[in-house]
Amino acid sequence: MNAPNPNTPHTNTAHPNTPHPSTPRPPVRLLVCDDHVVVRAGLLALLGSAPDIEVVGEAGTGEEAVALAAKLTPDVVLMDLQLGEGIDGVEATRRITSPSPGAPPHVLVLTTYDTDADITRAIEAGATGYLLKAERPEELFSAIHAASQGRTALSPPVASRVMARMRAPRPTLTDRERDILGQLSRGLGNRDIARALFISEATVKTHLGRIYDKLGVDTRAGAVAVAKEQRLLP
C-alpha cells in the first residue's frame, strides 16, 4: 500500500450540511441608551473593541430608545435609568419589553444606582439584567451576551441585595400604613390621601416616614414598587 503523498491537498469528506465547528456566531446587535453624550461616546468606543458585539444605534432619551428599538430590532438594549427629561429608563424598559408581534429585545440596565427600589422597579418593568457602571469591560461584554440569550445578568452587589431581600422577613405594616400605601399606589398626593382617609396631612407624612423606613426606600415610587413586589398592598 502506497503512503499518502504529503503534497496532495486534503479533501474534506464531511457531510455538506454539517456545520463547521469554527463557524462564528453572528454578533449581538446592541442599542445603547444614555443621556450623557460623553458617557455614551465612551461606551461606544469600548463596545467597538468587542468583535462579537455590533452597536446598531444610540439614544439619548427614553422616547428615542423606544422608537429605535422598534425600528432597529436589536437583540439587547443597554439602558441607563436616569435619562433627564421625558420618560425614565424604567418606563422605557416597560415599553420596549411589552408584548408585540415580534420578539421584543432584552433590556440590560447599566447604571450607577443600586438601591432596592431602583432594582425592583427595573426588574418589574421587564429588565433581563442589572449591571453597575463600575463593572469591568469583560463583565459588561459577558452580561450583554447573557442578556441576548434571555439569561439574567446581575452585578455581584445587586445579586447580593436581591438575595438579602428574598431572605428577609416581610415588613409588618399597620392597617393605617396599608391604607396609605393603597392611596399612594393610586397616585394621590398627601392632601388627597388625608381627605380620603379623614386624617391630617401631618399624620400622612408621619405614616409615610414609617413606611419608608420599614420598606427601606426613600421615595413614593420606591415604596409602591416594593409594596407590589412583596404583595403588601390592600
Q: What is the pLDDT of residue 116?
A: 79
Contact 73, 102 (CB under 8 A): yes
Q: Do residues 205 and 113 share a domain?
A: no
Number of domains in the chain: 2
Q: Do residues 63 and 129 share a domain?
A: yes
pTM (predicted TM-score): 0.66
Q: Do residues 132 and 221 share a domain?
A: no
Q: What is the pLDDT of residue 114?
A: 83
Q: What is the pLDDT of residue 15?
A: 45
CATH number at residue 200: 1.10.10.10
Q: Do residues 183 and 102 share a domain?
A: no
Q: Is residue 7 part of a domain?
A: no
Q: What is the pLDDT of residue 69?
A: 96
Q: Is residue 59 part of a domain?
A: yes
All cell numbers assigned to 18 = 454539517
Q: Do residues 179 and 158 share a domain?
A: no
Range of the domain at 207: 175-229
Q: Do residues 113 and 224 share a domain?
A: no
Q: Do residues 52 and 102 share a domain?
A: yes
Q: Is residue 56 part of a domain?
A: yes
Note down pLDDT in tens along the chain; length 234 residues: 454 454 444 444 444 444 455 566 799 999 999 999 999 999 999 999 998 999 999 999 999 999 999 999 999 999 999 998 899 999 999 999 987 777 899 999 999 988 877 888 898 899 999 999 999 999 999 999 999 999 999 998 888 878 776 676 778 899 999 999 999 999 999 999 999 999 999 999 999 999 999 888 888 988 888 888 778 887
Q: Do residues 42 and 157 share a domain?
A: yes
Q: What is the pLDDT of residues 120-143, one digit of tens each?
A: 889 889 999 999 999 999 999 999
Q: Do residues 98 and 185 share a domain?
A: no
CATH number at residue 137: 3.40.50.2300
